Amino acid sequence: MPRKKENSLPDFISKPLRHLKPPENLTVSEWAEKYRILDSKSSAIPGKWDNSITPYLVDIMNEFNNVETEEIIFVKPTQVGGTEALHNMLGYVIMQDPSPVMIVYPTDALAESVSENRLQPMLMNSKPLREKFKKAESSRLELQCEGMYISLNGANSPSSLASKPIRFLFLDEVDKYPGATKKEADPIKLAKERTKTFPNRKIFMTSTPTLKTGHIWKAMENADVIKHYKVPCPHCGEYIELMFKQIKWPKEEGMSNADRAEFANYVCQECGGIITDQHKPQMLKYGRWEIIEQKTQFPRKVAYWINTLYSPFVRFGEIAKEYLASKDDPEAFQNFVNSWLAEPWEDTKLKTNADLVLERQTEYEEFEVPDWAVMLTGGVDVQETSLYWTIRAWGPFLTSQNIAHGQALSFREIEQVMNAEYRKRNGETFMVNLCGIDSGDQTDEVYEFCALNSEWAIPVKGVASGYSHFKISTINKASSSAHGMRLLLVDGDKYKDMIASRMAKPNGRGSWMVYKNCDREYAEQVTAEHKVNVKTGGGRVKQVWVKKTSHADNHYLDAEVYAFAAADVLHVRNIHLMLEDENEKVNEVPQVNKQSMDFNNAWLKNIEWF
C-alpha cells in the first residue's frame, strides 16, 4: 500500500483548488516552448517546440496577447510554420483562457482530416493539454475540452458557420474558401458574425495568397498596420528585407538550370556581400518585424507578410531551382509567385519575358548603329541613388534597336553618354537627337539639367490614361530655371503596349530589337511588368501594367518608354513617308543606309517640336 504524502490535501479540497488556481503568466510563444510537443507524423522536427527555429513566428503569436488587437492577418508562403502558429494559439486558449473556438478550413473534408491527423494528436502529445481534452465526448468536427469546445467547420458549409457564438476565430487558408453566392453570404463574414457577442474577441486569419482580389491580400490591404520581417546582414549589419531578386546564380552556358541553382546565394542589397544558407539561422535569430505602413494611431487589425526566403527549411538554391523550372510555364510560375514569394498572381493579358528579349539580339555590337537607322533617342529613369539610361536607334516603320544602356551615378555621366558619337559600319556618325528624362524624382535637378541641355534633353512626366500617347506641355514653376520650357507628358501604359507587341515580332521590319550579347539584367528589367485586369471603383474592368512581383526592378523599361516617346516627338512614325519622298527604297529592313546621315539632318531640320 503506497504511503500517503504528508501535508497532502484530500481530493474534495485539492480538486476545487486546481480550478481556482490562476493561469500561468505566459505569452503564446512562451506557452509553446513550455508545453507544445510536435510529433513525427506532422513535423519534420519532432519534439518540444523551439522558438529559435522560426523566430519570425514569435511576434505573430504574441500579438494574440495584445488586448488592443482584434484581428491578426498572416500572409505567408508554404513551409514557414504558419499553421503551427495557429495551433499554438489554440493550445494557449485551451490551457490559459478557455472560451468557445471555431476553426474554419476550406472544406469539411479538410477539417475532418486536420482534426484526425493534427489537432487531436497535438492534444494527446502534451500532458497538460491531454488533461483538458475530453476525447470520449468529442467528435471529429467538435472537440470538447474543459470549459470550452472547438468547432471545426468547412467554408463550403455556410449553415454550420451561422449557428454558434464564439470568442476565438481561426481562419486557415482563406484564399481557398468558396466565394459568396446570391443565396449565401461570404463565409468569412458569416464566421465573423459569430464573434459579435464577445467584446474581447480574437480573429486569426492566415493563407498563401492567390490573386489581389483574394481574401488574404484584401485583408492585408485593409489592415491598420502592415509589418515585414527584416534581418541583419552578416557583413554590414544593416537590416534588410530578403527579396527574391537578390538571389544570384551563375550564368555560364553549358550548365543545366539545376546545376546553376546549386550555386545560388543571396547578395546583400546594401553592401553586396555574399550571404549563404549557413548565415540564415543567425540572421533569423536577430531579425525583427518593422512597420512599413500604419493607417491609424490605435490599430485593431495587424498584418504580417513574409516569403519563403526566410524559411529555415528551404535553401536559396531550392528557390532558384524552382524559379528556373517554372518561369516559362504560366501555371507553374503562378504557383511559384503564390507559394514561394507569397505574392498575388495577376490575370495576365499581355506577357513578356527576358528570354524573348534575348531572342531579339541582332548582329550589331554594343554602341554600333545599325545600317538602317536614321536617328537615335535616349531615355533616363531617375532614381534616388542612380540614373538608368538607354539609347535606341530608329528606322522606318518603327523598327528600332537598343544600341547601349547602363547605370550612371550623376547627370554629368548622362551628359557624356548622350553627347558621345556612335557610328555605323560605314563610318557615319550619330548623336542622340532627343532624350526624355524622368522628372518625377529630383524634379528641380532634372529641370535645371534639361534647361542647360535643352538642345537634346526634355523632362518627362507620366500621366494617367487619356492622352493618345504624349502631349507637349510647359513648365510653369516660376522659381525654376526651366520656367517656360517644354515638358513631355507621357502615357506609359500605351508605350508599354507598343514595346510588348513589337517585341513579339521576329527580327526585321517593325521589330523591337537589342544589340548582340545583350545582358540578362536589362532583359529582366524591360520585362518586369505585365498587363492585368483590375476592377475600378465603379465595378468596371480595365487593363493596366503592373510589376510581376513587388520587388522587381523596372528602370530600363521606364527608360525605354521615355526613348520611345522622344522618338514620337521627332515624328518617328513618318520616317518611311519622308524616305519615299526622297526616292529611298524601304521595302526591306535593313536597307536604308544610302545618304542616311543627310536624311537624318534634313528630317530634324524640317520638324518643329519646340
Mean pLDDT across the chain: 86
pLDDT for 580: 61
| Residue % of the chain over a pLDDT of 90 | 59
Q: Please list the helix, strand and coil fractions of the chain in percent, rounded to the nearest 5, in that order.
A: 35, 25, 40
**pLDDT average, residue stretch 370-392:** 95
pLDDT for 539: 57
> What single string gives the DSSP state of each residue in 286-337?
T-EEEEEEE--SS-SEEEEE--GGG-TTS-HHHHHHHHHHHTT-HHHHHHII
Q: Is the pLDDT of residue 361 over 80?
A: yes
**pLDDT average, residue stretch 415-431:** 95
Nearest-angstrom CA–CA distance, 596 and 582: 11
Where in the chain are the domains? 25-222, 232-288+315-345, 356-520+554-606
**pLDDT average, residue stretch 448-467:** 86
What is the gyration radius of the CA atoms in the chain, in angstroms?
31
Burial 562-594, CB ≥16 within 10 A → b, else e: bbbbbbbbbebeebbebbeeeebebeebbbbbe
| Residue % of the chain over a pLDDT of 70 | 86
Q: Three-state DSSP class for 580?
A: helix
Q: Is the pLDDT of residue 597 over 50?
A: no
Nearest-angstrom CA–CA distance, 390 and 508: 21
Nearest-angstrom CA–CA distance, 352 and 326: 15
* Confidence band of 355 (pLDDT split at 50, 70, 90): confident
Q: Is the pLDDT of residue 609 over 60?
A: no
**422-423 and 37-38 strand pairing:** unpaired
Nearest-angstrom CA–CA distance, 38 and 48: 6
The C-alpha cell of 415 is what? 551628359
Do 166 and 101 contact (CB within 8 A), yes or no?
Answer: yes
**pLDDT average, residue stretch 259-266:** 92
Q: Is the pLDDT of residue 2 over 60?
A: no
H and E: helices and strands count for the chain: 21, 28
pLDDT for 467: 55
Please indicate whether residue 273 or residue 257 has the higher confidence score (pLDDT). Answer: 273
* Confidence band of 484 (pLDDT split at 50, 70, 90): confident
Q: Which CATH architecture has domain 25-222?
A: 3-Layer(aba) Sandwich (3.40)
The amino acid sitting at 31 is W
Neighbours of 168 (CB within 10 A): 25
Per residue in 517-571, pLDDT (tens digit) is 999 999 999 999 888 776 665 556 677 888 888 778 899 999 999 999 999 999 8
* Confidence band of 6 (pLDDT split at 50, 70, 90): low
Q: Is the pLDDT of residue 441 over 80?
A: yes
Of 24-38, 196-210, 270-284, 583-597, the range with the lowest mean pLDDT is 583-597
> Widest CA span of the chain, in angstroms?
119
Q: Is the pLDDT of residue 346 over 90?
A: no
* Helices 82-96 and 28-35, packing angle to 10 deg: 90
**288-294 and 225-232 strand pairing:** antiparallel
Q: Is the pLDDT of residue 284 over 60?
A: yes
The amino acid sitting at 17 is L
- Sole residue written with cell 484581428: 71
* Confidence band of 16 (pLDDT split at 50, 70, 90): low
The C-alpha cell of 389 is what? 539610361
The C-alpha cell of 521 is what? 539584367
**pLDDT average, residue stretch 317-340:** 88
Q: What are phi and psi of 538, to 5 degrees?
A: -85, 5
Q: Is the pLDDT of residue 588 over 50?
A: no
DSSP state of 245: G
Do 512 and 503 contact (CB within 8 A), yes or no?
Answer: yes
Nearest-angstrom CA–CA distance, 295 and 577: 56
